[in-house]
Amino acid sequence: MKTKSKLKTTLKNAVLILLGIFLAAIGLKGFLLSSHFIDGGVTGISMLLADITGIPISILIFVINIPFLILGYRRLGNVFALKSTLAIAGLSLCLAFIDFPDVTPDKLLTAVFGGMFIGVGIGLAIRSGAVLDGTEIAALLVSKKNQLLKVSDVILVLNVLVFSAAAFFLGIESALYSILTYMAASKMIDFILNGIEQYTGITVISAKSEIIRRVITQNMGRGVTIYQGKSGYGKDGQINDPRDIIFTVATRLEIPLLKQQILKIDPTAFIVQQSIDDTTGGLLKRKGLH
């Protein structure tokens, strides 16, 4: 049974990676390359060098990613490195041997939709445990060594350098359209990884926690976690009565209604919201509102 499930997962990941490769190739050859627009990261560096030197991008994408793949093998494991190597090699072969017609001459449409296709392709690959661009590997490793830098900070610094070079070699207009391409790609990656139902964690501290718990679980169909706490130091410097603290997870579309229900029960309730990148398991799908 486990073998069958593992095989099913492997086949699913392989299909998603192949689809990701194809979509990324459409974004590159069907939109961006003919207009001299670039993306960010290693892909952007490869596109810029291809435009300057005339070396085929299919070669540059694979060669420039090699150091990052080696780092990924050493730090993130051989399975990840193998899948990423095959994915990037597949993208290189797709760019080398498959012809895609130019979809549109319109610069704005080219920048936006080229970025969207690339973003969807990269997002599908990441969801399947691989990457089509080694930038994420480098950013992750740098952020682990330097706690002051987040992954997003490292990627931002790298892309500032890439787009500055694009402005110098390709011109200001191409660089600006390239930034638009990168923004479209980033949004699509976020959408593929997090989905439309981005989750938000809600922590509620209230003297009426039991009533609030019943409303969340019974009326809204959400699971909750209860843990005990004390309401901190008051004006008199003493710890007040112990009380239950409620934690639940909801989609951003449900947050306004959830807060409205909580404040209706206890207008003085203390509510803390925090964004959540991903969730697994638990009672996440609502049963319906009453």
Distance CA 78, CA 75 (A): 9
199-276 has which fold? Alpha-Beta Plaits (3.30.70)
Q: Among 8, 10, 6, 43, which residue's Cα sits nearest to residue 189?
A: 43
CA–CA distance from 207 to each of 225, 228, 245 (Å)?
A: 16, 12, 9
| Pair of tokens at residue 278 | 């991903």
Secondary structure of residue 118 in the 3-state scheme: helix
What confidence score (pLDDT) does residue 6 get? 80
What confidence score (pLDDT) does residue 136 get? 74
For Cα atoms 19, 284, 12, give the angle at the middle one, nearest 5 degrees: 20
Distance CA 157, CA 41 (A): 10
Secondary structure of residue 249 in the 3-state scheme: strand
Distance CA 120, CA 124 (A): 6
Domain ranges of the chain: 2-194, 199-276
Distance CA 113, CA 185 (A): 9
| Pair of tokens at residue 128 | 């399947």
Yes or no: say if 225 and 250 are a contact pair by the CB < 8 Å rule.
no
Question: Can you give the pLDDT of all 290 residues of the chain as single tens digits?
Answer: 667 778 888 899 999 999 999 999 999 999 999 999 999 889 999 999 999 999 999 999 999 999 989 988 887 788 888 999 999 999 999 999 999 999 999 999 999 999 999 999 998 998 888 889 888 777 666 656 665 666 566 777 888 899 999 999 999 999 999 999 999 998 898 888 776 556 788 999 888 889 999 988 888 788 898 988 776 665 555 556 778 899 998 877 678 888 888 999 999 898 998 877 666 665 555 433 33
